[in-house]
Amino acid sequence: MDPDYLPFHPNPSKPKFKAPAGAVDAHCHVFGPADMFPYAPERKYTPCDAPKEKLFALRDYLGFSRNVIVQASCHGRNNDALVDALKSSHGLARGVAVVGADVTDEALAAMDAAGVRAVRFNFVKRLVDATPKEIFLGISERIAKLGWHIVVYFEAPDLEDLTPFLKQLPTTVVVDHMGRPDVTKGVDHPDFQRFLSLLSENENIWTKVSCPERLTVAGPPYDDVIAFGRTLVEHFPDRVLWGTDWPHPNMKSHVPDEGILVDVIPRIAVTAAAQQKLLIDNPMRLYWPEEQIS
């Protein structure tokens, strides 16, 4: 583990908010354990081990039912830890993998069988070396045939440059962490308005109203981030997902308490109907469509 790396909270509080039965934590990770699943040589940080057992115990403790596990950059393009967690989940976890152009059809089929339903394209410069857009476009055509979608991670200043690329993607596209706005600028700032326009103009683009712990300047209970999530939930109730982001890689300011993170939910999705969409209907539609009743 890097010397300045903050490990996840050892004993988070119980949230006051009771998630509806069947709720999905749609953004979380597993890391290692390194002796079974070594971190990638090209990684930009070395996290603490955060194994699947801890993730599933946290899911139960917080009152959630399912997880969407996102491959993080510290495991590079080796999705073994992710796939192992999916296979141990009894169908209660789906995955978002990271692949290169050299991935074989057989490897994609095996990941699909394990529960992978998306690939992640990461544009955050401190996390990954840049990948040419043509590579991503080639991957996107291949995974579209499997019925998968694409999760993208970028920071707000990069949105303008990335917009033409995002518009070319042939699947549903989920933008991590509200496009990582600078919350000190407020929701009316042109940067966040540009993000709202992106979703208004492209019905295939969704977002995760997640990560107040990364976006905040004020700290917990994240009052300065509420308006961003709430605006997105109000404008795009059918295209938002929520996740804990456990185990919160690369946090420098504080160790997030997941109980406090869950208590953000009723402040951004203020009605039971909005909470049902955010925590159940939307993630089930994307990750477990075969279990959808309507």
Stretch that binds ligand 0GY, among 2-10, 50-58, 68-76, 278-286 (CB under 6 A): 68-76
Residue 105 vs residues 69, 94, 99, 108, 271: alpha-carbon distances, Å: 21, 19, 11, 5, 43
Whole-angstrom distance, CA of residue 11 vs CA of residue 160: 40
Question: Considering the rule CB under 6 A, would residue 122 count as an interface residue with ligand 0GY?
Answer: yes
Find the binder of ligand 0GY among 50, 72, 85, 232 (CB under 6 A). 72
Nearer to ligand 0GY, 249 or 283 (CB): 249
In single-letter form, the type of residue at position 202 comes to N
Nearer to ligand 0GY, 89 or 122 (CB): 122
How many other C-beta atoms can be found within 10 angstroms of the C-beta atom of residue 197? 13
Stretch that binds ligand 0GY, among 2-10, 48-56, 69-77, 266-274 (CB under 6 A): 69-77
Find the binder of ligand 0GY among 115, 249, 256, 283 (CB under 6 A). 249
Question: Considering the rule CB under 6 A, would residue 73 count as an interface residue with ligand 0GY?
Answer: yes
Q: How far is residue 128 CA from its own chain's centroid? A: 16
Question: Considering the rule CB under 6 A, would residue 255 count as an interface residue with ligand 0GY?
Answer: no
Whole-angstrom distance, CA of residue 155 vs CA of residue 100: 22
Question: Considering the rule CB under 6 A, would residue 245 count as an interface residue with ligand 0GY?
Answer: yes
Instruction: Tell me the catalytic residues.
Output: 245
Whole-angstrom distance, CA of residue 180 vs CA of residue 256: 17
Whole-angstrom distance, CA of residue 190 vs CA of residue 180: 14
Residues found near ligand 0GY in the complex (CB under 6 A): 72-74, 122, 127, 153, 176, 214, 245, 249-250
